[in-house]
Structure 1
Amino acid sequence: MRACSLSVLFMFLFVLVGCGPQAPATPPEGPAGTLRWSLAGVNQISRLDPARLGSNQENIPIYLIFAGLVRLNENLEVVGEGAERWTVSDDGTIYTFTLRPNLRYGDGSEVTAQHFADTLARTVAPETGSEFALRFLANVVGAREVAAGEATSIAGVEVLDEQTLRITLESPRGYFLSQLSYAFTFLVPPGQIEAAGDAWVGQAFGSGPFRVKQYDPGERLLLEGNPYYWAGPPGVAELELRLYPSTDAAFTAYKDGEVDVMGSVQAAAPIERLDEVTVGAGFLTLSAPTVRYLGFNNVMPPFSNTFVRQAFAQAVDKRAIAEQVFAGRVAPAERILPTGFPGSQIPIEPLRFDPVGARAALGLAGFVSGSELPPVALTYDRSDPVLSQVAELLQRGWRETLGIEVRLDGVPTSELINRLDNMLVDPTNPEMALQIYLSVWTADYPDPQNFISLQLHSQSPFNNGRWANERFDELVEQADALSGDNPAQRERLELYREAEQIALNEVGWLPLYSPQATLAVRPTVHGLVATASPQGIIATDWTRVRVEESR
């Protein structure tokens, strides 16, 4: 057996230690004060259940109230939460977790290994879980049987004693620990959610740093520190999540001094309004683990031809998009992995903007100019006016470089989703098939597998464009199965890099840009280390967070 404390070697870090003085070496004496944080785009909180997640914004309270076996630190490394330590078998299929001896729920009751086993079964059971949760746990022996209603407990999740849990996988998965950082696997107190019913929102608790003190529908969710939290109570007595209909409304509240912190990965502070705050301003820009990209129909002509995809890719000026549409508020994406994401530190050769190369690639495809190509349409979500601007800039670039007039096909969000789903069933359907489409992916957990394998393996249910490359599949299958210490992790990342290079060269995807999220934090807040993680913006050590009483 080999001991493990980290599942990822390279991570990305964006740290905020207040926006004023540095945090004290030790937390303040006892929790004090109320930290007010905006929750934009949320009008009501209908449930607080890790097994039934909602939108990214609605899930923010869940990551404050509940916790699992592991969590992410400020470097987005997987570290122990409910588990004090763990080991992994030499073949990478058996994980044995030892729980912390002082692990308790917010009501003071003790946590046992059986509770974790019951929680994992609950999150995939047909009555209480979801199909999406099963995607995270499908490789656990017996999880599919529970999801199908054929069993009530997961055969591969065994309770060895009150403090020890063993999880057996069907095959090795180097990203399994990262998956356990997602809320689906978070511990829930046995029977409490079902017993409380609708009242649960106003009294929810788990084993996380906070518990619900009060819920005022449409206005706020007031949390108080969990006095039984294993790491010690938070440095603030209360955390008030104030509900606002939009980011503009939330920023106005920050500007007027009604909240101390405003912003998240999905609902960042509006860049165009930052100069409205001149006194007590504190802003931090975080790179989101998100990529906006162009997808191609790799089954139907003309984009079944690699040279045609390369021609269209090299005719795209990503920096012009970042500057002209977003005024520099996004980062041009030269690769599939977002900047700073695990594995992105290993260099790769991007397919750059190259008009001459684009025309040469078109010639290699057998076309003298783009006018010889069949009609081509770019499909995108018309509900977002920014995407319309991006589409127009792409259209102009293809016209000027390749001599083709691409038709812009703006459609409702629901139609785009339906047509993307249909691409997995029948990518040649003349009424439903897409040719080029604007799409987006945000990581679920901090591992290259979540971008590279999950999106582009030929058999992946997320590979809407149906791109396929045999060597790529071999590489990611090897990388996905590797687990272990740093040498194994380095090998994993190198395999993903080689696979990503193939996908870039053949334009399995054309990554365009990664959004950036701006967090607004008052100088009265100290000790807040905030990281843009796949789960949103997380504070990694609540025991050191404090807020000054003076407003």
Structure 2
Amino acid sequence: SAHFGHIVGAQDVIDGKAKTASGIKAIDDKTLEVTLDAPIAYCLALLTYSDTFVVQQKLVESGATWTDKAYGTGPYMVKEWKRGQSIELAANPNYWQGTPGIPKILMPFTKDSETAYQLYQTGELDIEGSGQNPVPAAHIPDVQNLPDFKSAAQLTTRYIGFNTQKPPFDNPDVRRAFALAVDKATLANQVLAGGVVPADRILPTGLVGTQLPIKPLAYSPDDAKAALATAGYADGQNFPEITLAYGQEGDNETVVQALQSMWEQNLGLKVKLQSFELATFSKNLDTTYYTPTEGLQFYYSVWGADYPDPQNFLSQLLHTGNPNNNGHFSDPQFDQLTEEADTMGDRAQIEQRLQLYNQAEQIAIDKVAWIPLFYPKLNILVRPRVEGMVLTPQGLIVPDWSQLKLK
């Protein structure tokens, strides 16, 4: 519903009131008509997201396990899938651009970025790093001058989210205290060795709309202590026990330990840390949304652009009632601004639309919906013998699969 709620009749399907959406019609074998309930400026961008990819109807109707197999007309076919271990791809001889130049690609799954880095060092990998698991920060000084090292800004924000339905983070002054106590420059430049960019806002650098300024919550231990006192916890007295949750991947443990130290040093508070395997962490975020009293208190998380539009961050993640708004941040003015911006589809309104999102983002910053920490860089290693790949803010892509080859 978060992505397709504006399609006429889609919500009825989601709610179980209808089997098909009245706003989706097959006009003929090659034409699909989609009717929206309002002008949606980001509609074309949304169509690039994987939820809109075409699949054969007969496959979907073949049973609940149809997603266990791979179907399509892409450059590679799945030859073997070992769950939790690896995927082996074989070149598709019928691909429309011609058979790709590399006959086989093996994609092993590693449990952490350090393991992947070591496999690269021993020559077992040709590519190491991804958006979720980039080159470990500790190794960036060792590789940043090598021809193998590639780096690009990502349309991604790492942040601290709060369960605003559960004490103590239902109090905005507590959230403000925690935000003001984080030294983002030290976190980015020292703890993570400059492999990320400190964040002063929710929208990641480079996303449309970030050309408009935001007044951030600047690091200030004194102001942090004052905010905590305003919340009724002067010098940390009588502050309840709190636990920061995080998923097990990349440099997450390094980041949360640094935050734990900053909060203890600047607020005098001891924060417990609890790690979860990623699938469990994701389920716990869902629980935080659906049953907030049983959910996480606060959590270290990430959001990367599904499509490059402010709506995908602000409306998707912080509008009241959106299923991706795990922490239940809610502000009537924020909702009004984003709702108006979401339905401005006229190109002539683009500047006005971005101004509305900018105002909404400022509200979210001022009321500490999140603590935006940093914008990750896509730091990866690619052996020089690999040709035909391009690094972009959306990841490592192959513009023309017929040109993918090994020297």
Which TM class, normalised by the smaller chain length? Answer: 0.7 to 0.9
Name which of 45, 55, 67 aligns with 1:188.
55
Tell me, yes or no, if structure 1 residue 455 matches structure 2 residue 317.
yes
Residue of structure 2 equivalent to 1:117: none
TM-score normalised by the chain length of structure 1:
0.63
The superposition leaves residues 258-296 of structure 1 with CA deviations (integer Å, 9 ceiling, x where unpaired) of 554333223434454567779984221123333222223
The superposition leaves residues 298-318 of structure 1 with CA deviations (integer Å, 9 ceiling, x where unpaired) of 345554443333222112111
TM-align CA RMSD: 3.7
Distance 1:172 1:464, change over 3 A: same
Residue of structure 1 equivalent to 2:262: 397
Residue of structure 1 equivalent to 2:223: 357
Give runs of aligned pairs for residues 26-45 of structure 1, distance below 5 A: none
What's the secondary structure of 1:245's corresponding residue? coil
Tell me, yes or no, if structure 1 residue 410 matches structure 2 residue 261.
no
Residue of structure 2 equivalent to 1:482: 344
The CA distance in 2 between the partners of 1:146 and 1:383, in whole Å, is 35
Residue of structure 1 equivalent to 2:209: 343
The code of the aligned residue for 1:262 comes to E
The code of the aligned residue for 2:263 comes to W
Give runs of aligned pairs for residues 254-265 of structure 1, distance below 5 A: 254-255=120-121, 257=123, 259-265=125-131
Deviation at 1:481, TM superposition (A): 1.1
Residue of structure 2 equivalent to 1:84: none
Tell me, yes or no, if structure 1 residue 538 matches structure 2 residue 397.
yes
Distance 1:394 1:280, change over 3 A: closer
Tell me, yes or no, if structure 1 residue 308 matches structure 2 residue 170.
no
The code of the aligned residue for 1:334 comes to D
Residue of structure 2 equivalent to 1:511: 372
Whether the aligned pair in 2 keeps the contact of 1:378 and 1:438 (CA below 8 Å) is no
The code of the aligned residue for 2:35 comes to T
What's the secondary structure of 1:424's corresponding residue? helix
Name which of 22, 25, 47 aligns with 1:158.
25
Residue of structure 1 equivalent to 2:245: 380
Tell which structure's C-alpha radius of gyration is larger: 1
The CA distance in 1 between the partners of 2:226 and 2:329, in whole Å, is 22
Whether the aligned pair in 2 keeps the contact of 1:295 and 1:509 (CA below 8 Å) is yes
What's the secondary structure of 1:331's corresponding residue? strand
Whether the aligned pair in 1 keeps the contact of 2:229 and 2:235 (CA below 8 Å) is no
What's the secondary structure of 2:303's corresponding residue? strand
The CA distance in 1 between the partners of 2:212 and 2:357, in whole Å, is 10
Deviation at 1:324, TM superposition (A): 4.2
Give runs of aligned pairs for residues 325-340 of structure 1, distance below 5 A: 325-340=191-206
Distance 1:278 1:390, change over 3 A: closer
Distance 1:228 1:375, change over 3 A: closer
Residue of structure 1 equivalent to 2:383: 522
Distance 1:268 1:200, change over 3 A: same
Whether the aligned pair in 1 keeps the contact of 2:59 and 2:66 (CA below 8 Å) is no
Residue of structure 2 equivalent to 1:547: 405
What's the secondary structure of 2:3's corresponding residue? helix
Deviation at 1:458, TM superposition (A): 2.1
The code of the aligned residue for 1:164 comes to T
Tell me, yes or no, if structure 1 residue 499 matches structure 2 residue 360.
yes
Whether the aligned pair in 1 keeps the contact of 2:137 and 2:192 (CA below 8 Å) is no
Which stretch of structure 1 is more off in the superposition, 303-312 or 347-356?
A: 303-312
Whether the aligned pair in 2 keeps the contact of 1:226 and 1:234 (CA below 8 Å) is yes
The CA distance in 1 between the partners of 2:320 and 2:49, in whole Å, is 25
Name which of 20, 41, 44 aligns with 1:174.
41
Whether the aligned pair in 2 keeps the contact of 1:375 and 1:406 (CA below 8 Å) is no
Distance 1:475 1:254, change over 3 A: same
Distance 1:399 1:469, change over 3 A: same
Q: Which runs of 5+ in 2 are unaligned?
A: none
Whether the aligned pair in 1 keeps the contact of 2:195 and 2:379 (CA below 8 Å) is no
The CA distance in 2 between the partners of 1:380 and 1:401, in whole Å, is 20
Deviation at 1:334, TM superposition (A): 1.2
Distance 1:411 1:197, change over 3 A: closer
Give runs of aligned pairs for residues 180-329 of structure 1, distance below 5 A: 180-191=47-58, 205-208=71-74, 210-212=75-77, 214-215=79-80, 217=82, 220-225=87-92, 227=94, 229=96, 232-233=97-98, 236=101, 238=103, 240-246=105-111, 247-248=113-114, 250-252=116-118, 254-255=120-121, 257=123, 259-273=125-139, 281-329=147-195
The CA distance in 2 between the partners of 1:260 and 1:330, in whole Å, is 23
The code of the aligned residue for 2:401 comes to W
Distance 1:319 1:497, change over 3 A: same
Distance 1:158 1:537, change over 3 A: same
The CA distance in 1 between the partners of 2:78 and 2:291, in whole Å, is 51
What's the secondary structure of 1:285's corresponding residue? strand
The CA distance in 1 between the partners of 2:195 and 2:215, in whole Å, is 24
The CA distance in 2 between the partners of 1:519 and 1:193, in whole Å, is 36
What's the secondary structure of 1:466's corresponding residue? coil
The CA distance in 1 between the partners of 2:54 and 2:176, in whole Å, is 47
Distance 1:467 1:188, change over 3 A: closer
The code of the aligned residue for 1:462 comes to N
What's the secondary structure of 2:393's corresponding residue? strand
Whether the aligned pair in 1 keeps the contact of 2:156 and 2:305 (CA below 8 Å) is yes
Q: Which runs of 5+ in 1 are unaligned?
A: 1-133
Whether the aligned pair in 1 keeps the contact of 2:247 and 2:281 (CA below 8 Å) is no
The superposition leaves residues 514-533 of structure 1 with CA deviations (integer Å, 9 ceiling, x where unpaired) of 33222222333344323232
Whether the aligned pair in 1 keeps the contact of 2:243 and 2:297 (CA below 8 Å) is yes
The CA distance in 2 between the partners of 1:170 and 1:359, in whole Å, is 47
Identity %: 36
Whether the aligned pair in 2 keeps the contact of 1:420 and 1:434 (CA below 8 Å) is yes
The CA distance in 2 between the partners of 1:455 and 1:249, in whole Å, is 32
Deviation at 1:510, TM superposition (A): 0.9
The CA distance in 1 between the partners of 2:248 and 2:78, in whole Å, is 38
